[in-house]
Amino acid sequence: MPRRLLPALLMLLTAGCLPAPGPATVPVPVTTVGRYYEALGAGRYEAAFAFWAADTAMHRDGPERFAQAMQPYQAVAARTLSPIRIGASGMDLLARVPVEVALTRRGEALQRRGEVTLRCSPLPDCQGRESVWKLTGITLSPG
């Protein structure tokens, strides 16, 4: 850092012009995944359906088919794992969030592990705006 910039930066910090570092926050894709699974677990299928990107097969099938596919599940709960991978692709930001999902399907308890893929676009709007993160895929395997 050039010597002239350091005093100016210190003056801005002491004048309160720059925000003080805050507590660590949970990445927005993680909260999006959590809210998706909370909606599923509560049986709010329309709310869960709204998390899907419009250009996905899940979304094209419509909310009624989505709700029908979820009917056999009596319980759904998930927890996000680490590491979360975030990268850019064109004007989109992509995130892969590892998950562990506990399901009860027709009375049978199931455990699944995998990841939820999300997309945020356009890229400049992705910082701190949960509404722009949409699910594009979920891959789960027994485990």
Residue 29 has what DSSP assignment?
H
pTM listed for this prediction: 0.78
Model confidence at 4: pLDDT above 90: no
Name the nearest CA neighbour of 138 among 119, 104, 114: 114
The correct answer on CATH 2.60.40.10 for the domain covering 26-142 is no
Q: How far apart, in whole angstroms, are the C-alpha atoms of residue 132 and residue 28?
A: 10
Residue 14, token pair as written in the block: 């002491």
Beta strands in 7-132 (DSSP E): 73-80, 85-89, 92-105, 108-120
Condensed to tens digits (0 to 9), the pLDDT of residues 53-101 reads: 999 999 999 999 999 999 999 999 999 999 999 998 888 889 999 999 9
* 138-to-42, 49, 55, 57 alpha-carbon distances in Å: 19, 13, 15, 12
Cβ atoms of residues 103 and 75 within 8 Å? yes
Q: Taking phi first (over 0 means left), then psi (-120 to 50 degrees means alpha), and beta for anything else, what does residue 62 get?
A: left
* Domain residue extents for the chain: 26-142
Condensed to tens digits (0 to 9), the pLDDT of residues 88-135 reads: 888 888 999 999 999 999 999 999 999 999 999 766 667 665 558 999
